[in-house]
Amino acid sequence: MIEKHLTHLRQLEAESIHIFREVAAEFEKPVMLYSIGKDSSVLLHLARKAFHPSPIPFPLLHVDTTWKFREMISFRDQIAKDYNLDLLVHINEEGVKQGIGPFTHGSALHTDVMKTESLKQALNHYKFDAAFGGARRDEEASRAKERIFSFRTETHRWDPKNQRPELWNIYNARVRKGESIRAFPLSNWTELDIWQYIYLENIPIVPLYFAKERPVVERDGMLIMVDDERMPLNEGEVPQMKSVRFRTLGCYPLTGAIESTAATLPEIIQEMLVAKTSERQGRLIDKDQSGSMERKKQEGYF
Amino acid sequence: MSVKQEISADIEQYLKSQEEKGMLRFITCGSVDDGKSTLIGRLLWDSKMLFEDQLATLASESKRVGTQGGNIDYALLLDGLQAEREQV
């Protein structure tokens, strides 16, 4: 009966909190993957709510590719300090030693080594048996039919043909030693839900989401922000100051900005509602080819 | 006034009205190839919930792997997995 009075955002919130508590109760060593983006901000907010007034009963893990926007890193450290979080940061040192980066090795290899491999290293090292992620079903076709408790083999592989049945809110938490699950509390949220919830709950997000004058260059039809001196400029290429913001955040060389003057949350939501393109359009790594996200997921990418 | 005009005119008012919204839960049941995904895909299409880049991908995927002879195959909006597309 109470449900009648819950708005859709409150229902989504309740569902996510239930998932957090279920995983915390059923697994020995959970971790929350924290990517610093808007979905991670909502995920963190929900995790804090789920266990309040106790601290979050598991650590956060950021897989740092060393190519994130500088503002993302300072935001991460500030949030960890403000909320007194147990934040683990993992960098694939092997990749760093080999000098792997998106400019020199291309987006596919960079993502594979610095993100997918790096995540697997961290999961193996800490022996986590459950990892929360902020993926949403509306993001990408290969995520559309992902379970909320997504089973992974000992080698972190995801087999789309061998998924467990998941009936309503009954989750199967049985895993053998070495096997694990990825849990997605935001599965049923849409991009709009995320923004509305950030607005409603006043959740802090990285300032890069708000429009500001930033130095950008145009590459393959995408506006790439020149975030540090590692970005090689082509001959005659001069960074221009443009009022831009980001719809999603990742590695700065792989994340396209959009021209915008939206500097407040309502303005961002307003722009999004009349937008004609999806948020993933600004992500270079999705466009390698159709099915590329699925392949990355099978190999252990989030 | 259309929704888009409403959004442009007063976003704060629109957000307030959205906060009160309830949630619709929707499931389809059926056997393999009964048209569960096609129905949901068609609903997304008709309710104009798709973005231009998603439509462009849908059009090219329909030509490449679709079952509708080059016409739009709405099921491809949901059956995004290679593994699913292998099902004959």
CA-based nearest distance B67→chain A, Å: 17
Of A200, A266, A294, the CB nearest to B81: A294
Q: What is the mean pLDDT of residues A193-206?
A: 95
Judged by CB atoms closer than 8 Å, whether chains meet at A145 and B78 is answered as yes
Greatest mean pLDDT among A61-65, A297-301, B3-7 lies in: A61-65
The reply to whether ipTM tops 0.85 is no
Give the DSSP letter of residue B67. Answer: S
Q: What are the sequence ranges of the domains in chain A?
A: 2-193+291-298, 207-287
- Residue A45 CA to residue B75 CA, distance in Å, equals 35
Closest chain B residue to A294, measured at CA: B81
The verdict on A196 touching B (C-beta cutoff 8 Å) is yes
Judged by CB atoms closer than 8 Å, whether chains meet at B19 and A9 is answered as yes
As a residue count, chain A comes to: 302
Q: What count of Cα atoms within 13 Å lies in the side-chain half-sphere of residue B7?
A: 14
CA-based nearest distance A275→chain B, Å: 8
Judged by CB atoms closer than 8 Å, whether chains meet at B23 and A160 is answered as no
Which residues fall within 8 angstroms of residue A235, CB to CB, at 6 or more apart? none
Judged by CB atoms closer than 8 Å, whether chains meet at B7 and A161 is answered as no
Q: What is the mean pLDDT of residues A149-169?
A: 87
What is chain A's mean pLDDT, rounded?
90
Distance of CA A301 to the CA centre of its chain: 11
**What's the pLDDT score for residue A163?**
84
Residue with tokens 């998941």: A166
Best probe of the A interface among B2, B8, B11, by most A CBs < 10 A, is: B11
Sort out which chain B residues have CB atoms less than 8 A from A290's CB and list them: 57, 61
- Residue A283 CA to residue A249 CA, distance in Å, equals 9
Query: And the tokens for A273?
Result: 């509602």
As a residue count, chain B comes to: 88
- Residue A148 CA to residue A163 CA, distance in Å, equals 11
Higher pLDDT, B87 or A134: A134
Which stretches of chain B sit within 8 Å of chain A by CB? 4, 7-8, 11-12, 14-15, 18-23, 51-54, 57, 61, 76-84
Quick: pLDDT tens for A258-283: 999 999 999 998 888 887 777 766 66
Q: Which fold has domain A2-193+291-298?
A: Rossmann fold (3.40.50)
CA dist B47 → B41, B43, B44 (Å): 10, 6, 5
Tens-binned pLDDT, residue by residue, of chain B (88 aa): 566 666 767 778 888 887 777 778 888 999 988 999 899 999 988 988 788 888 888 888 888 877 788 788 998 888 877 666 555 4
Cis previous bond, A53, omega within 30: yes
* DSSP three-state, residue B82: helix
Percent above pLDDT 90 for chain A: 71
Higher pLDDT, A19 or A283: A19
Which residues face A248 on adjacent strands?
none
Given a cut of 60, is residue A288 above it in pLDDT? no
Q: What is the mean pLDDT of residues A137-144?
A: 82
Torsional sign, CA A209, A211, A217, A222 = positive
Given a cut of 80, is residue A2 above it in pLDDT? no
Sort out which chain B residues have CB atoms less than 8 A from A270's CB and list them: 7-8, 11
- Inter-residue contact A192 to A279 (CB < 8 Å): no
- Inter-residue contact A175 to A15 (CB < 8 Å): no
Q: What count of Cα atoms within 13 Å lies in the side-chain half-sphere of residue A68?
A: 25
**What's the pLDDT score for residue B4?**
64
The verdict on A262 touching B (C-beta cutoff 8 Å) is no
DSSP string, chain A: -GGGG--HHHHHHHHHHHHHHHHHHH-SSEEEE--SSHHHHHHHHHHHHHHTTSPPSS-EEEE--S-B-HHHHHHHHHHHHHTT--EEEE--HHHHHTT--HHHHHHHHHHIIIIIIHHHHHHHHHT-SEEE----TTS-GGGTT--SEEEE-TT----TTSPPP-BTTB------TT-EEEE-TTTT--HHHHHHHHHHHT----GGGS-EEEEEEEETTEEEE--STTSPPPTT---EEEEEE-SS-SBGGGB-BEE----SHHHHHHHHHH-SS-GGGGBGGGGSSTTHHHHHHHTT--
In which band, very low, low, confident or very high, does the pLDDT at A156 lie, cut at 50, 70 and 90? confident
Q: What is the mean pLDDT of residues A95-113?
A: 93
With residue B53 as reference, give the H or E element that holds it.
Answer: helix B52-65
Sort out which chain A residues have CB atoms less than 8 A from B54's CB and list them: 278
Closest chain B residue to A199, measured at CA: B15
CA dist B65 → A287, B31, B50, B70 (Å): 18, 21, 20, 9
Of A7, A278, A294, the CB nearest to B82: A294
